Structure 1
Amino acid sequence: MAPAAVSPLSFTRSVIAHLSDIPLPLSPPQPSQTTVAPPDSSPNGSPPATADDLVQTVATLDMEIQTIKAQVYKKLLANYGAFTESFEYTFELKDKIDGLLEQADNMASRTTDPENGLRQTVMSALVEHHEISHKVQENNSIMEGLKHFSCVGDVLSQYEAYMDSGKILQAGHCIQQAAKTLARPPNAGVASSHITRSLTEQCARMTEAIDHMLDDLVANAIHYQYPTDDTNIQVKVTISYDIKVPLLALPRSSTDSAPGLIRWHALIRALTLLDVAQEKLRPLQKFLTQHVLQPLIEHYSDAAILIGHSTSYASAKETSLLLELNPGHGSGDIFRDVLIVFEFIHRNIFLNGYSGSEFNADEFSSDTEILTHVLGRNIAKEACTMLSKFYLSQAVPSDINGLRDFASIALAATRLENELIALGFLTEADRDLRAFVENIDVHYTNKKRNILLKQGRAVIMSEDFKTIQVKDLDKDDELEKDGDGWSQITETDTDVKESCISLKAKQLVDMILSTLHEAGSLNENASSHLYKATRSLIDLYRALMPVHHVRTLTNVPALAILFYNDCMYIARELEKVPARLENGIPGMDEVQYDDSIPALKTLARKWLDIQVQKQREELMQSIDGAGEFQDSSADINFDACERSMKQVVLVFKHLGKAWKPTLSPMTFYKVLGQLLNEVSKRVIKELEELTDISEKESHKLATLCGLLFECEDQFDSAGPIVEAAKGDAYDDEDPIHFFVPSWQKFQLLADILELSFAEIMTRFRAGQLHMFEEGELRDLICAIFADTPLRKHNLEEIEQGHPVALPHHAH
């Protein structure tokens, strides 16, 4: 389509039309934009423009505009030709673009046509290509699967032949190879296929069949003869070198195959390479441990070992080991016999050192090492444990001389351990026997401790309470002869020199001293163990004696006091230990029992207090029968009071008879005085609480008090004890007053009941009644004497307080 011609005039008009829309800088201002200055005014004060001036200005502007327009027209006319060419070329391009668009429309319609379009053709081709690729992939997977299953089948096809010929190792390798192949399927389809599952199950059954086959082969190879009830007990294990292969239990593809024989080394190699040797040979390990080594070690003096085997494995059919227990017919060398057993295991079972054409000795040596280290090490460690338990521990001596003789046993035990290490049964880290014999001092002290505690327990639990005088024991004691040689007991009431002890205490002290003296000849570790053993014996005594003999100690006063003496005696002898062992024992500068000694004394005082309290309760119950001494003038009441007082005296005499030969004098008088003091205080209190005492009743009460005076006889011999205790302060006083503080008051009370009022006041004025408080005297006088002016006067004097006591009456 040809472009339309453009005339210069039309083009000019077009340009002018466009230019007319553009404001020009020199155009005169629009009326709306022009501000006319008011007449007679100007910015500079000059006269305003006239109409002529404005017309002239407009004319000038028009001339300028016309000039500019002329110039524009000239420029436009000069470029008209180039613009025309460009405009025509634009129309040519438009025609070409329209042609291309038309071609594109034609191509799009041919592509998108639903029936014959190129797009539909391409899509159909792609679908067909995908279907073909999928079929090819399926075919490739099937081919890979067939190849995979073929490989598995080839491996499994050899299994039956290997099993029939007894080639368990090769059969096992077949199963292992098949299992590995099945575990790596070429694709997911093969992995999930029924054939794979079926083959996997078949491999599992074949593996189980190999396991059963191995069990049967081991059972056919190893024969056990267990002990019987015969006099000569025999235990035997036999190894058959030619082993019959059992029938294969799985379905067979060939009915012509028949089982054969395999040699022992082939079975051993199969067990080790299949990593089941420890499991399958565990019964052999158990038999050798429990039925051969254990009875051999426990009854070594009656045991004999016999080995039956050929010198050449190549020609041997079997080998055997026989243990015979015949009383008194053993070799007597336990370590040699144990070594014979392990040499038999190493040479005849593990085939160490054999070589021949049947197998490569270098390769088989690794199997021997595996069996020796895994299976043989377990047997060897258990054997060493049993040697320590049943032989070495029993061979530990119980005296110093035997400890020196133990050196030969230690040497033999170490030599056996060296041999087992050389054979490979043990490593350097397994030296239990050497560890035992090197610590023989500790084992010795442990045994001594056990013996000491066992013997001590027997002594403690014995019901024999035979006694012995301490002074008889001190006759032979050098420390007692030389009193400055050790720290003397300063508490006179705990001194047992003049007392009696049981043989139990002496035996326990002898055990402790002999053990300590023996500790002095041992090294530091052992000696400290023995020292601790003596402390354990003391602890055992403190814990067991009061529990095992609780009824005896509670119900028999003499034995309770004897137990008190025993504790004090043992404590005294323990205090002597540092002086007896001036150089101490190895590892200890001084042997002391600083905590055991106070514990023994505390235990002694506890049981003494228990016995004293028991006797006190019995005395108080006797006094209860007096009925608080009410109306003692009546015969029936007086009889009851008299029985009570006589019962008290009887108890005191019985205690004195039972305790005096046993207790030290000071302890005896103190304990007896404590009880009598409690009795006198109780009687004083009850008599002082009587509010009305007739003259007859007063005499009766005095008579009852006089019955208790028989208890004074128990203290007749206490004078020297009091004099020794008081020293320079001793004033030749009645010894009973030293041990029974309330006795003087009790005597005065008995006197008051019999004295006249005048005699009472005479004693008061002489300061002889200072034992009574003013209130006590007042109540007694009011109870005994009737209310008279004399009584009132004397009471007023008493209320003023006691006069100063005379020196010979002051206590």
Structure 2
Amino acid sequence: MAVTAIASHNFARVITSQVDGARIVHQEHDAADPATMDELMETASALDTEIQSIKAQVYKKLLANFTEFTQSFENSLELNGKIDELLRQADEMTSQTIDPETGLRQKVMSALVNHHEVSYKVQENDSILEGLKHFSRVDDILSQYEDCMDSGNILQAGHCIQQAAKVLAQPPNAGVESSNITKHLTEQCTRMSEAIDHMLDQLIASAIHFNHTEHDSTYYYQLFFSYTIKVPPLALPRAGSAYTPGSIRWHELVRALTLLELASDKLRPLQKSILRNLLQPLIQFHKDSTLELVSSASNYASADGSSISLSVNLGHGRSEQATIFDDVRRVFEYIHQDIFLNEYSSPEFNAHQVSSDTEILTHVVGRHIAKEASAMILKYYLTDIIPLNINELSQFGSISAEVIRFEDDLIAMGFLTEADKELRDFVENIDVHYTNRKRDTLLKQGRAIIISDDFKVIPVKDLDRDDELEQERSSWSIGDHDTDLKESSISVKAKQLVDMILTTLQGAAPLSADASPYLYQATRSLVDLYRVLMPVYHERTLTDVPALTILFYNDCMYIARELEKMTDRLENGIPGMDEVLYDDAIPSLKALAKKWLDFQVQKQREELMQSIDEASRFHDSGVESNFAACERAMKQIVYVFRHLGKAWKLLDDVAIRVIKEIEDLGDISEKESHKLAIICGLLFECEDQFDSAGPLVEEVKGDAYNDEDPIHYFVPSWEKFQLMTDILELSFAEIMTRFRAGQLHMFKVQELSNFVCSLFADTPLRQRNLEEIDQGHPFRRS
């Protein structure tokens, strides 16, 4: 880089020229100002003097620093040369680095590639070495497995397989994990596990023996355990090995099963056999069962085995026998001591375990057996001995104590936990089970009575004769006169159901406040069952037989009446309830009774009206055939009414219809009038149906009751019907006499006039009498 030097005199010259230039510019500028020439000359002179002074100062400073300035300039020239040399060297080094053939960069890149290849080979060799060490460890473990199998040490062999599997599951690198050797070794471990599994099955089969026979009513079962078990020969022994099968003890096999976590699976057949072939027959047929034990577990070290057997001879129960809980307890004690070896304390058996092998077996095998056995005891024993009466219930305490003691023993042995108290819960709630059984029995017996086709009857007055409550009260009810039952009959089944309800409620008195309401609910269920089942099961009978409809009506009313008296019959009530009421059941029974009565009345009304229609509505009754048809119709009415009992409205409807038909006949001959009177007179046979209804009318009318015939109260048109029948037989004079006496007031004037015109010919007498009748009925004297 070129450096321009300026000498001192040149520098002064330049400064002077620049100052002179400035002055000229200034002068040109000032020339434009309106100033005098003298002023301008004076100013220019001042400036020139000042510039000269400044120049002198600049020269003075330059001269004072000239040496330093010269040295700096020389140094800058030297430094510029060095920089040029460095740039040259940098260019040379760049050329040496980037040269594609001899450049340093190419050499470095080649070295890095070689280093990477070497590192990869080193890592690959390390992985191979790790894999070889890994496979060597697995091979050593598998060699130990073969040695253990040769010696019959099934437990150590199992440990070897577990260890080998664990090592294979943790490969040192991905290459080992994906190698064929790992796959081969894994398959080999699987085959070895299967070999152990097969050997365990053979050892268990050699240790446990079942003997099971059944013939007709005889059953025999034996379970035998061999404590010394011969090890079976290997299926594929190693070539050249001097293998001689030995034997192992039962506790060694148990240890192998528990530590290999195979006990639950391998002992499942034993579990099923004990449940199905030992405990179930023992519990289900306990009265005919004999249990025998040959136990040597207390001296297990020298014992060869133990056994338990059960024989069942149906129909030949023992006269003296242990209770079911004693025998079942003996079975579990045998399992605990002789199979699970609870009393065997060898260090090899239970050493270094959080839980002993006995505890493990009791948990994974025994607990299921205990729970199933408890369920069997509930099903085959306890549910069958639920008391049926209060005396049996009071004696159930001894069984409860035995159940609790039995369950506590199973808990102490570890077969059950404190939460597994199904049997205790059952006996502690025996009151509830008792009431449930009573309910089921009640409903079962009640259903049989309800669906029975036996409709035998019994007079209510015979039932009320010895009923103090009924003698103290009146069965007549104002506004509900249809419920009168004193002169009625009911079916025996209604009486049976009422007796069952009363007996059940009386049986609830000694129970607890929690249990007794269940029996009350059971009686309500019986009433509901009656209301639902009776009309459905006997629908055709109740529809087609009017007498049975009335009987069903009476039954419903009788049951309702007796339910109303239940509170009075149970003087002290039942525990847990203030009152024994059937407030909703009673109206439902009465509504059901009325529903069927109304249905039957309507059905019979339609049939009776049809009978009247078929009798030609009493036309030409003087003709014998017509008279016979009318007579049949009226007899049918009497027959139906007698069988419908209190269907009083039906008789009123018939009377109104007969009156209307006769009024509509028009001309009635003397013979026809007589025949009609005979036909109407047939209905008078219905009057005896009201003989017992006087007290009801008296209760309704109170002081206004004058011993009148009850039929006139229940059949308002009856008096009019009687008078119409009389009119058919009376002379004209007798009719007018009764009219003048005010005895025909129930006939309208027009009705009476029509009767007169129908019965008597048109004569001056009839005309005068009609004019009198048209004047209206005379005043009636009381």
Which amino acid counterpart does residue 349 of structure 1 have in structure 2?
Answer: I
Q: State the match for 1:399 in structure 2.
A: 389
Structure 2 letter corresponding to 1:215: D
What residue in structure 1 maps to residue 187 of structure 2?
201
Partner SS for 1:312: helix
Deviation at 1:145, TM superposition (A): 0.4
CA distance in 1, matches of 2:335, 2:745: 101
Q: Which amino acid aligns with 1:510?
A: D
**Alignment CA distance shift 1:84-1:685 (3 Å):** farther
Query: CA 1:206–1:775 in structure 2 vs 1: closer, same or farther (change >3 Å)?
Result: farther
Cα distance, 1:190 vs. partner? 0.9
- Displacement after TM superposition at 1:304 (Å): 0.7
Q: Distance in 2 between matches of 1:355 and 1:164?
A: 28
Question: What amino acid is aligned across from residue 172 of structure 1 in structure 2?
Answer: G
CA offsets, 1:366-386, max 9 Å, x none? Answer: 000111123112212222222
State the match for 1:142 in structure 2: 128
- For residues 27 and 564 of structure 1, the distance between their equivalents in structure 2, rounded to whole angstroms, comes to 147
**1:42 paired residue number:** none
Letter in 1 for 2:607: E
Query: Unpaired segments of 5 or more residues in structure 2?
Result: none
Residue aligning to 2:682: 710
Q: Structure 1 residues 411, 318: CA separation in 2 closer, same or farther (over 3 Å shift)?
A: same
The answer to whether 1:371 aligns with 2:361 is: yes
State whether residues 691 and 710 of structure 2, in contact with CA within 8 Å, keep that contact through their aligned partners in structure 1: yes
Query: Which of the residues 653, 668, 681 maps onto 2:656?
Result: 681
* Change over 3 Å in CA distance of 1:756–1:396 after alignment to 2: closer
Q: CA deviation at 1:540?
A: 1.9
CA distance in 2, matches of 1:568, 1:360: 77
Structure 1 pair 62–764 and aligned structure 2 pair: CA distance change class (3 A): farther
| SS, match of residue 394 in structure 1 | coil
Mapping for residues 564-579 of structure 1, pairs under 5 Å: 564-579=553-568
CA offsets per residue over residues 631-687 of structure 1, 9 Å max, x none?
Answer: x3497xx5665344323322233235545xxxxxxxx3x41x311222233344455
- What is the match of residue 594 of structure 2? 605
5 Å matches for 1:239-388?
A: 239-249=225-235, 252=238, 256-310=242-296, 312-326=299-313, 327-329=316-318, 331-355=321-345, 359=349, 366-388=356-378
1:132 is matched with which residue?
A: 118
Amino acid at match of 2:10: S
Give the equivalent residue in structure 2 for 1:496: 485
Q: 1:135 to 1:705 in 2, by over 3 A?
A: farther
C-alpha distance 226-643 of structure 1, shift in aligned 2 (>3 A): farther
Q: 1:746 to 1:104 in 2, by over 3 A?
A: same
Q: Distance in 2 between matches of 1:734 and 1:476?
A: 30
Q: How does 1:84-103 map to 2 (within 5 A)?
A: 84-103=70-89
* Distance of 2:281 and 2:77 partners within structure 1: 125
The answer on whether the counterparts of 2:494 and 2:555 sit within 8 Å (CA) in structure 1 is yes
Per-residue Cα deviation, 1:131-190 (whole angstroms, up to 9, x for no partner): 111111110000000000110111111222323433222111111111111111111111
1: CA distance, partners of 2:728 / 2:352 = 119
In structure 2, the residue matched to 1:545 is: 534
Q: Specify the code of the residue in structure 1 equivalent to 2:383.
A: S
Of residues 94, 113, 123, the one that matches 2:99 is 113
* Pair 1:436 & 2:417 matched: no
Q: 1:548 offset after TM fit, Å?
A: 2.1
Letter in 1 for 2:611: S
Give per-residue Cα distances to partners, 1:696-754, cap 9 Å, x unaligned: 4x974774365123112221473663453534334565544322223344456667778
C-alpha displacement at 1:78, in angstroms? 3.9
1:34 partnered with 2:24: no
Q: Say how many residue pairs are matched.
A: 774
Preserved CA contact (<8 Å) 2:226 2:305: yes
AA aligned opposite 2:455:
F
Amino acid at match of 1:678: D
Please say if 1:806 is aligned against 2:777.
Answer: no
Cα contact 1:314–1:356 (8 A) shared by 2 = no
Aligned to 1:514: 503
Residue in 2 that maps onto 1:664: none
* Separation in 1, partners of 2:573, 2:173: 86
Q: CA deviation at 1:207?
A: 2.0
Does residue 624 (structure 1) correspond to residue 609 (structure 2)? The answer is no
* CA displacement at 1:755 relative to structure 2: 8.5
- Report the CA distance between 1:11 and its aligned residue: 2.6
- Partner Cα separation in structure 2 for residue 792 and residue 776 of structure 1: 16
Partner AA of 1:391 in structure 2: Y
Distance, in Å, in 1 between the alignment partners of 2:133 and 2:466 is: 105
CA displacement at 1:445 relative to structure 2: 1.9
Distance in 2 (alpha carbons) for counterparts of 1:151 and 1:702: 131
Q: Distance in 2 between matches of 1:52 and 1:420?
A: 143
Task: Choose from 584, 588, 613 the match for 1:595.
Answer: 584
3-state SS, counterpart of residue 636 of structure 2: helix
The answer as to 2:642 corresponding to 1:653 is no
How far apart in 2 are the matches of 1:502 and 1:54?
Answer: 161
- Counterpart-to-counterpart distance in 2, 1:695 and 1:649: 19
1:418 aligns with 2:408: yes
8 Å CA contact 2:342–2:358 kept in 1: the answer is yes
Alignment partners' CA distance in 1, 2:588 and 2:5: 144
| Cα drift, residue 425 of structure 1 | 1.6
Supply the distance in 1 between the matched residues of 2:780 and 2:232 (Cα, whole angstroms).
Answer: 122
Contact 1:470 1:499 in 2 (8 A): yes
* AA partner of residue 300 (structure 2): Y
Confirm or deny that 1:740 pairs with 2:726.
no
What letter matches 2:153 in structure 1? Answer: K
CA deviation digits over 1:431-490, x for unaligned, max 9?
222222222222222222222222222222222222222222222222233339xx9855
Q: Which moved more, 1:345-354 or 1:323-332?
A: 323-332
> Is residue 542–residue 600 contact of structure 1 (8 Å, CA) maintained in 2?
yes
SS in structure 1 at match of 2:453: coil
- Displacement after TM superposition at 1:334 (Å): 1.5
Paired with 1:527 and 1:461, the residues of 2 have a C-alpha distance of 28
Within 2, Cα distance between the matches of 1:576 and 1:489?
14
Question: Structure 2 counterpart of 1:737, which letter?
Answer: H
Distance 1:34 1:549, change over 3 A: same
Contact 2:621 2:672 in 1 (8 A): no
Aligned counterparts of 1:263 and 1:530: Cα–Cα separation in 2: 60
Check conservation: 1:421, 1:428, Cα contact below 8 A. yes
TM-score normalized by structure 2? 0.89
Q: Is the 8 A contact 2:459 2:487 kept in 1?
A: yes
Deviation at 1:101, TM superposition (A): 0.7
Query: What's the Cα RMSD here?
Result: 3.6
TM-score, normalised via structure 1 length: 0.86
Q: 1: CA distance between counterparts of 2:344 and 2:57? A: 130
> Aligned with 1:525: secondary structure?
coil
3-state SS, counterpart of residue 384 of structure 2: helix
User: Within the alignment, does 1:154 sit opposite 2:140 as a pair?
Assistant: yes
Encode CA deviations 1:511-560: one digit per residue, 9 max, x unaligned: 22222222112221222222222222222222222222222222222222
Supply the AA of the counterpart residue of 2:306.
Answer: T
Q: How does 1:667-678 map to 2 (within 5 A)?
A: 668=645, 670-671=646-647, 673-678=648-653
Q: Is the 8 A contact 1:560 1:608 kept in 2?
A: yes
Residues 135 and 108 (structure 1 numbering): CA distance in 2 closer, same or farther, change over 3 Å?
Answer: same
SS in structure 2 of the partner of residue 95 of structure 1: helix
Quote the Cα distance in structure 2 between the aligned partners of 1:2 and 1:412. 126
- 8 Å Cα contact 1:625/1:640 also seen in 2: no
Task: Give the letter for the 2:372 counterpart.
Answer: E
The question of whether the paired residues in 1 share the 8 Å contact of 2:458 and 2:492 is answered with yes
* 8 Å Cα contact 1:111-1:118 kept in structure 2: yes
Residue of structure 2 in register with 1:475 after alignment: 465
Q: Which shifted more, 438-447 or 275-284?
A: 438-447
- Tell me, in whole angstroms, the C-alpha distance in 1 between the residues paired with 2:671 and 2:56: 181
- Aligned match of 2:439 in 446, 449, 461? 449
Give the Cα separation in 1 of the matches to 2:38 and 2:356: 139
Structure 1 stretch displaced more, 716-725 or 446-455: 716-725
